[in-house]
Each structure stands twice: as C-alpha cells, then as structure tokens.
C-alpha cells in the first residue's frame, strides 16, 4: 500500500479523494456547507481521484 | 505588476473550518511529496536534474504548470476583463506555435547535447562569456521573480483574508523550502502537477456557475462591446481594439519575438522538457503540454470576460462587481478573487483559495529550482569550485535552494517597501529577454555564428531594448531618453521594444560573426542543425511522433483563431 505513494498519480488521486470527502461529508453534515455546488464539485473530484488512484504508471 | 491597493472591503472573505481543512490538506500533501522524493535523491544529478527519469505526462504538465504562476492565473483573468477575448492571443498566438517549434526543432539540441541547462548549451555552442551572461542574468531574474511572486501571494491573502503579511510570507516560503530542499527538482515538478490539477479542478466550477449566471456565451456576446468578443476582427488598427496594437505588431512582437523568446529559451520551462526519459519524450513534452495550454483560456481568460459582462447594465441584477482601486477605476487584478468571493460558498471557497495559493507556490518553486540548477552548474561549478565530488555539488545545490528561498523572502520585503522596484525589475527583465531568441535561432541554425557574435548581439539587443523604451512613451511610461514617439498602449510598447531588440540582436550577431572566427565543424556536431545527424522517431505509431502531433496542434490552433475571429 505505502509503495503506491511513490506513484504521483496515486498521491494526486488520494489528495482529491480527501478534498472530495470534505466537500461531500460537509454537504450532508453541516448547514454551512449545504450547497449543491459543493456536492457536485465533491463528486467530480471523487471520480477524478478514483481514476488517478487506479492508473498504473 | 499585480495591483492590490484600494480594495473594496466587500471582497473580504471569511473562511470556516472546512476551508482551512482543505488548505491544510494541500500543505500536508505538498510536504509529503517532498518526503516521498527525498529517498530517491542520491546525487546532484538527482537533485538538480531529476536524473532525466521523469515520465512524459509529468514533464508535460509540469511544463505548463511552471508557467501557471500568479501572472498567469490572476493576471490573465484580469486581462480577460480588461481586453476581452483578445487575451487568448497570449495562448493561441503567443504560446502554441513556440511550444511546437521548441519540441520539433530545438529539443534535439538541448537534449541531444546532454547540456544540463540552457546556459550550459550556450557554453557548448558558443563560449564561456555568453554562458556567463545568460546564467547570471537568468539567476538574478529567477530569484527576484520568486520574491515578487511571494510578495504578491502574501499581499493577496492579506487583502482578501486579512491574514498577517509576515505570516503568509514565511509560511508559503517555508513550505516551498521544505519540499524543494527535500526532493529538489523532482519534488517541485511533482507538486507542479498536483498544483495544475488543483488549479484546473478548483477553478472549473467557478467558470461553469459564473457562465450560467451570465446567461451563457451568447448572452455575454449580446451584452459586451464587439471588440471584447472578437479575437481578430478589430485588429486592423491599434486604436480600434482594447489591446491598443494592430495585427502586425501582435504577430511579430508577441507571436514571434516574445513568445519564442520565452518558451524556447527560458530555462524555467525548458528544464521540464530536459528531464524527460529520452529524446522522443523530451520532444513531445512541450507538444503534449500545448494541448492543455490551448484550452487554458477557458479557466483563466473566460472568467474575466464573464466578470466584465456581469457588470453591464442588463446583468447588474446579478449583484457582482469587480472592486475599484484608489482612483475609482476598476481594479482588474481583483477580478478572480472577487469572482471566488461572489460564487464560492464555504468548502469550495477553501478549494478556490488553495488553487490561488498553489499557483503562487508553483511559480515560486519553479523559479527556485531553475535558479539552483543554473547557480550550481553554471556559476559555482564553472567559475568558482571545479572538480569536486558529486556529493559536494549535491550539498551546494541544497544550500543554494535555502539561499534562493531566503533571498526571495528578502526580495518580497523589498517589494513591499518599494512598490516601484517591481515595475523596474520587470522592465529590466524584458530588456534582457527580448533579444534572446535571435541568439538561439542563429546558434542552432547557422553554423557560422560565433561566440563573440552571440555575446555582442545579446548586449546590443539589450541596449536596443532599453533605447527603444527610452525613446517611446505609452500610458505615461518610457520616454526617459526623449519621448520621440507615442504608442497608444503599454502592451503595444512592450511588443515594439521586444521587436527592435530582436532585430538589433539578429543583425549585430550576424555582422560580428562574419568578422570573427567560428568554431570548427567537429566542435559543433550535435549543436547545430546542419551538422547534426537527423534522428528519426523510433515510434511506430504516428500519434507518438512529434511531427504529426505538432501538425494537428497547429491546425486546431488556427481553427480556434478562425472560430473566434
């Protein structure tokens, strides 16, 4: 698992998944973040992050 | 120079926990990249040149990301608001053609010569004095640019978030220092790719919602003066368009002299192609990079056009306005921050702010890593301490990284104290950069060009740039020798200064070369086009070859210019 952090695409993927979790979780858990644009951006970043994580360099 | 004074206080943003969390996660990841790369650093070549082992997709994205600093992101959005769609000329005229030329014609010499830097190529092709001139001016320019980028970041965060200026300076510089010191060029390049995706994905939602709010492109066209929505139609005369230049000045000044001078000779960007795994990938790096570059106006020009459209009477109900400056005029520099403040709620606001921070840090790290390579190889190793162990140069490279960052911090404070010094430095830099491409063009394609010719051509070209600026005046600037000729815009003046400096360099290099002794042919093999064996691409698939890719890119670029004519 930690070996994968040597791959840049994996690191970028994990970063965007983390940001996506903040936005999506925030949308459902906090009224301050309950905006559609947060949800859609979070979902977009989640998809991008998952693709990057699964790319084999 | 980005202008921050006199901001309308309504732009001030207030971050919440989620926003800070996004910024913190970003800082955590960029530092983590430094630690991950650290274990790969065994030699000075690893630290300063990435051991020429970086995959194509990374070198390509790093190539444009090194240019995706504050000037690009904030500056181009500001230009989009001020000049409209004509700002795309900085991409479709002022970048793509030069990037393609670099990949197809120049990379074989940069990469094939095994030079570790652009100044080192100049020493192989010409002589030591030409290298020293280029290395010293480049090192000074990069470290000052890094400092100015740092100042701009701290000032922006102070204005829009009310963060402490000193804290912003030391925090941003400290983070860049950690990851560049640990992982050198590889770490900077990896983070540039992360920053590229962050800028694109972080600002894309802004473009979508703002465009939707403005009623789409057709509504923007309907509400703006036609000069702001046509790229070429009003370029026949300088006074007919907001750029204040005609198509001839634009094509020669920007499209040839300035564009080729930057993209084909500036080590900051060329370095990203020089660290590719092999010649084929080195050639394709700027060509692949040209693809996202071609569409970058969607992220950095379109928001500016949308912003100015939203301020027109028919769309004033949307409640958006670009802040004003001290004189009551529109402060275009604040276009992007004000759009972010208007459209991004908590959460995404953190993403937008992080994207801005990333653009500044990307620009700073790019400058610092190019500076340490040139200083270590082309100044320290060449003129001060030769023939030491590789470990010695690795240590020096790391120390120079620290020095570069500290010097940048010092420059940032100088910039904060003497605002005019930034304009002065950028003016001097333009004098030095303007004539550069003539030296490389002649050096690579005319074997008769001599070291004396190159050196004196550069000197005369730089003096010609200064003289042209001193004899012309535009928007109150220049004319310090005698204001003999008035130009309608500062942009037009910059193009004319660059054009004159290039012509002066080109002809003076030829004249001096004809009167001085050239290097023998044997010493120029691999460095000059006519004396270098043509290496044909080994790739069997056409889409992996530089030539066909370049051709497709040029066709698309021309098509885009026609579509938005």
Q: ipTM more than 0.90? A: yes
Whether residues B345 and A11 touch (CB distance < 8 A) is answered with no
With beta carbons less than 8 A apart as the criterion, state whether B25 and A22 touch: yes
Residue B472 β-bridge partners: B485
B186: tokens are 């590889």
pLDDT in tens, B95-132: 999 999 999 999 999 998 999 999 999 999 999 999 99
| Mean pLDDT for the stretch of residues B82-94 | 93
Indicate whether this model's pTM tops 0.90. yes
The neighbour count for residue B420, using CB atoms within 10 Å, is 9
Packing angle, helices B128-161 and B118-125, rounded to 10: 160
Q: In what order do the strands lie in the sheet with B472-474?
A: B477-478, B472-474, B485-486
CA–CA separation, B248 and B242 (whole Å): 16
Q: Which of A19-28, B271-280, B299-308, B328-337 has the lowest mean pLDDT?
A: B328-337
CB pair distance less than 8 Å for B16 and A32: yes
pLDDT > 60? residue B371: yes
Mean pLDDT of chain B, nearest integer: 90
- pLDDT band for B419, please (50, 70, 90 cuts): low
pLDDT of res. B381? 94
- Give contacts of B345 with chain A, Cβ < 8 Å: 33, 35, 37-38
**Alpha-carbon dihedral sign for residues B102, B106, B108, B112:** negative
Q: Name residue, tokens 């402060």.
A: B331
* Contacts B25 to A, Cβ<8 Å: 15, 18-19, 22
Residue B252 token pair: 């020669």
The answer on pLDDT for A57 being more than 80 is: no
B497 and B469 in contact (C-beta within 8 Å)?
Answer: yes
pLDDT tier, B20 (very low <50, low <70, confident <90, very high otherwise): very high
39-58 of B, contacting A, C-beta below 8 A: 55, 58
* Strand-pair category, B472-474 with B477-478: antiparallel
Q: Which of B100-104, B289-293, B355-359, B514-518 is the least confident region? A: B355-359
Give CA–CA dist B235/B243, Å, rounded: 9
Q: What is the pLDDT of residues B174-228, one digit of tens each?
A: 999 999 999 999 999 999 999 999 999 999 999 999 999 999 999 999 999 999 9
pLDDT for residue B475: 81
Whether residues B197 and A12 touch (CB distance < 8 A) is answered with yes
Please tell me the distance from the alpha carbon of residue B546 to that of residue B551, in angstroms, as a whole number: 9
Residues 6+ apart with CB under 8 A from B407: B143, B146, B147
Instruction: Enumerate the β-bridge partners of residue B473.
Output: B478, B486
A47 — contact with chain B (CB < 8 Å)?
Answer: no
Question: Taking the CB of residue B389, how many other CB atoms lie within 10 A of it?
Answer: 9
Chain A residue with minimum CA distance to B200: A45
Q: Is the Cβ pair B345, A48 closer than 8 Å?
A: no
Q: Do A48 and B197 touch (CB under 8 A)?
A: yes
Confidence band of B537 (pLDDT split at 50, 70, 90)? low
The pLDDT score that the predictor gives to residue B6 is 44
pLDDT of residue B5: 46
Bridge partners (DSSP) listed for residue B485: B472
């Amino acid at each position: 698992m930690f070996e994968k952090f040597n791959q840049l695409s994996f690191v970028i993927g994990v970063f965007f998944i983390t940001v996506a979790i903040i936005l999506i979780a925030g949308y459902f858990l906090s009224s301050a973040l309950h905006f559609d644009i947060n949800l859609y951006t979070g979902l977009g970043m989640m998809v991008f992050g998952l693709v990057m994580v699964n790319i084999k360099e | 120079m980005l202008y921050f004074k006199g901001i309308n206080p309504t732009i001030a943003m207030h971050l919440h926990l989620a926003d800070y969390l996004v910024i913190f996660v970003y800082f955590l990841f960029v530092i983590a990249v430094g630690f991950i790369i650290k274990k790969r650093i065994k030699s000075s070549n690893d630290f300063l040149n990435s051991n020429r082992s970086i995959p194509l997709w990374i070198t390509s994205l790093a190539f444009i990301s090194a240019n995706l600093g504050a000037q690009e992101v904030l500056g181009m959005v500001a230009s989009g608001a001020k000049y409209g769609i004509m700002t795309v000329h900085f991409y479709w005229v002022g970048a793509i053609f030069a990037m393609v030329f670099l990949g197809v014609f120049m990379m074989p010499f940069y990469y094939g010569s095994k030079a570790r830097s652009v100044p080192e190529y100049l020493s192989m092709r010409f002589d030591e004095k030409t290298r020293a001139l280029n290395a010293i001016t480049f090192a000074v320019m990069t470290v000052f640019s890094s400092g100015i980028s740092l100042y701009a970041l701290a000032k922006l965060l102070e204005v829009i978030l009310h963060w402490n200026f000193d804290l912003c300076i030391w925090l941003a510089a400290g983070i860049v220092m950690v990851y560049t010191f640990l992982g050198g060029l590889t770490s900077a390049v990896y983070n540039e790719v992360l920053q590229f995706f962050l800028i694109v994905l972080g600002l894309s939602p802004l473009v979508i919602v703002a465009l939707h709010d403005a009623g789409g492109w057709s509504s923007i066209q309907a509400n703006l003066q036609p000069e702001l929505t046509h790229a070429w139609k009003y370029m026949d005369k300088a006074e007919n368009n907001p750029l204040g230049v005609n198509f001839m000045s634009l094509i020669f000044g920007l499209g040839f002299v300035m564009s080729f001078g930057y993209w084909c000779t500036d080590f900051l960007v060329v370095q990203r192609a020089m660290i590719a795994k092999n010649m084929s990938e080195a050639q394709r790096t700027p060509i692949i990079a040209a693809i996202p570059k071609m569409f970058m106006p969607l992220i950095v020009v379109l928001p500016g056009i949308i912003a100015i459209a939203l301020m027109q009477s028919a769309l004033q109900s949307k409640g958006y306005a670009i802040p004003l400056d001290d004189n009551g005029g529109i402060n275009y520099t604040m276009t992007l921050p004000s759009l972010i403040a208007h459209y991004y709620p908590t959460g995404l606001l953190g993403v937008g702010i992080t994207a801005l921070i990333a653009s500044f840090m990307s620009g700073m790290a790019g400058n610092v890593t190019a500076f340490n390579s040139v200083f270590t190889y082309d100044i320290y190793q060449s003129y001060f301490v030769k023939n030491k162990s590789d470990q010695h140069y690795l240590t020096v490279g790391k120390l120079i990284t620290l020095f570069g960052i500290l010097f940048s911090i010092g420059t940032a404070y100088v910039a904060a104290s003497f605002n005019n010094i930034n304009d002065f430095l950028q003016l001097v830099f333009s004098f030095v950069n303007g004539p550069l491409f003539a030296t490389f063009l002649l050096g690579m394609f005319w074997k008769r060009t001599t070291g004396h010719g190159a050196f004196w051509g550069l000197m005369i070209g730089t003096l010609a740039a200064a003289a042209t600026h001193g004899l012309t005046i535009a928007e109150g600037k220049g004319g310090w020798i005698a204001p003999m000729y008035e130009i309608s815009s500062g942009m037009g003046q910059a193009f004319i200064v660059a054009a004159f400096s290039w012509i002066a360099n080109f002809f003076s290099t030829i004249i001096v070369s004809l009167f001085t002794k050239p290097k023998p042919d044997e010493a120029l093999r691999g460095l000059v086009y006519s004396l270098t064996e043509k290496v044909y691409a080994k790739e069997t698939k056409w889409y992996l070859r530089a030539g066909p890719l370049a051709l497709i890119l040029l066709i698309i670029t021309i098509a885009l210019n026609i579509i938005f004519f």
